[in-house]
Structure 1
Amino acid sequence: MPDDLANRKRALRAELRERRRIMTSSEREKATELLTAHLSELVTRFDARYLAAYLSTPDEPNIRPWLNAAHEAGIRVLLPVSRDDGLLDWVLGDGETEREGQFGVPEAVGEVLGPIAINDVDLIVVPAASVDRSGIRMGWGRGYYDRMLGSMEQCPPVYAVVFDNELVDSVPTEVHDKPVDGVVTPSGIVDL
């Protein structure tokens, strides 16, 4: 990656982290409420009975109430476990049982199903730092989700979850960056 591109991504990630850190608790609570409704709508739209998602960190848009509702509704949810080789294993999760994984990120606890378990899901919900209007997702720089999406032969719909101001006109892009089909923000679902 050229130094200029790396520096632009690093600066944008730092700016996004800071914006997330200064959000008020009431802004976060309202965003969580709206995201839960929109994610539930997305599941209904795709009639998803088996999905892949993630355990949100305190700085990320909070999708945990939605994960709990999905689990209570009998929807099977795969949650990622980071591997040292840069791939993701998957665990059938309840959205509650977790441990601290690599990089301090929460990970589900349970029977590890391996990287190919994701091939059977109806919908994938991924985290992002930012997404542009052409669907290019910028993550946090480790490449786990780009590798996962790039390895799938038949990928179901993929939606990233971001705050409203993180859906932008463009993000710095590299060849390996994989697009998403849409984003879910507190304002709604945007198909890209």
Structure 2
Amino acid sequence: MPDLTRTAKLALRDQLLAARRRIPVLELGEGARATAAHLLATEEVRRAATVAAYVSVSHEPGTGPLLEALAAAGTRVLLPVVLPGMDLDWAAYAGPEDLRAARGLLEPAGARLGVDAVAGADVVLVPGLAVGADGTRLGRGAGCYDRALERVPHGTFTCVVLHRGELLDAVPAEAHDRPVRAAVTPDGVVRLAAGS
């Protein structure tokens, strides 16, 4: 018998990825700047000494303006490095010139801090394709961020970065899926049920 949840996730991923490919480049840039402004205005990000984030690629919601603003403010930024087993190691962000291409992503070239480094972040920003009102995040299916979120202490501000239209009433969920406390789009930050 087919796994209906997994099939539903695949179908929703296909739909969301197709919609992302139709977003004009100008809109991507404007969205990245608006998203950064909303995150930088949150108390959690303003007070954070360390933020775990990621470098957006292709039609993902842009993180470049946010990374630059955090670095300029003196915030320590950790970026993921994908390990062969699809877990995430972390390294400090040292600017765009320090990034290197790996597996279709951009990763920091600096010293690795270990898979548990994410546990020391005050804020954890994660990629996703959609999120439900209960905080269930739909990722790309490799489980990298579910593993990372397992290491994040309860109560840490975890937020998925999305485009408009990717906040849904519900997304298909499996037992290994880890919820997030908030979502940010170019329209603002939304607190989710997982944060209550």
The alpha carbon displacement at 1:53 in A equals 0.3
Matched letter for residue 67 of structure 2: L
- Counterpart of 1:16? 16
Post-superposition Cα deviations, 1:7-58, rounded to whole Å, max 9, x if no partner, equal: 2111111111111111112221221221110121136655112110001012
The whole-number CA distance in structure 2 between the counterparts of 1:159 and 1:8 is: 23
The alpha carbon displacement at 1:120 in A equals 1.3
Change (3 A) 1:57 1:67: same
Matched letter for residue 129 of structure 1: L
- Counterpart of 2:102? 101
The whole-number CA distance in structure 2 between the counterparts of 1:43 and 1:18 is: 34
Post-superposition Cα deviations, 1:103-162, rounded to whole Å, max 9, x if no partner, equal: x12211111111111121111000001101111001000001101112344451100000
The alpha carbon displacement at 1:71 in A equals 0.6
Identical columns (%) = 38
Matched letter for residue 120 of structure 2: D
**Superposition misfits of 4+ residues, deviation over 6 angstroms:** none
- Counterpart of 2:171? 171
- Counterpart of 1:124? 124
The whole-number CA distance in structure 2 between the counterparts of 1:51 and 1:15 is: 30
Gaps of 5+ in 1: none
- Alignment length, in residue pairs? 191
CA contact (8 A) 2:124 2:156 kept: yes
Change (3 A) 1:66 1:46: closer
Matched letter for residue 36 of structure 1: A
CA contact (8 A) 2:119 2:151 kept: no
The whole-number CA distance in structure 2 between the counterparts of 1:69 and 1:45 is: 11
CA contact (8 A) 2:91 2:110 kept: yes
CA contact (8 A) 1:137 1:180 kept: yes
The whole-number CA distance in structure 2 between the counterparts of 1:133 and 1:22 is: 25
1:5 and 2:5 aligned: yes
The whole-number CA distance in structure 2 between the counterparts of 1:29 and 1:11 is: 27
CA contact (8 A) 2:44 2:123 kept: no
Gaps of 5+ in 2: none
- Counterpart of 2:90? 90
CA contact (8 A) 2:79 2:107 kept: yes
- Please give the TM-score of this superposition, normalised by the length of structure 2: 0.91
SS at 1:12's partner residue?
helix
The whole-number CA distance in structure 1 between the counterparts of 2:190 and 2:81 is: 28
The whole-number CA distance in structure 2 between the counterparts of 1:23 and 1:128 is: 16
CA contact (8 A) 1:158 1:182 kept: yes
Matched letter for residue 7 of structure 2: N
SS at 2:147's partner residue?
helix
Matched letter for residue 99 of structure 1: R
TM-align CA RMSD: 1.7
- Please give the TM-score of this superposition, normalised by the length of structure 1: 0.93
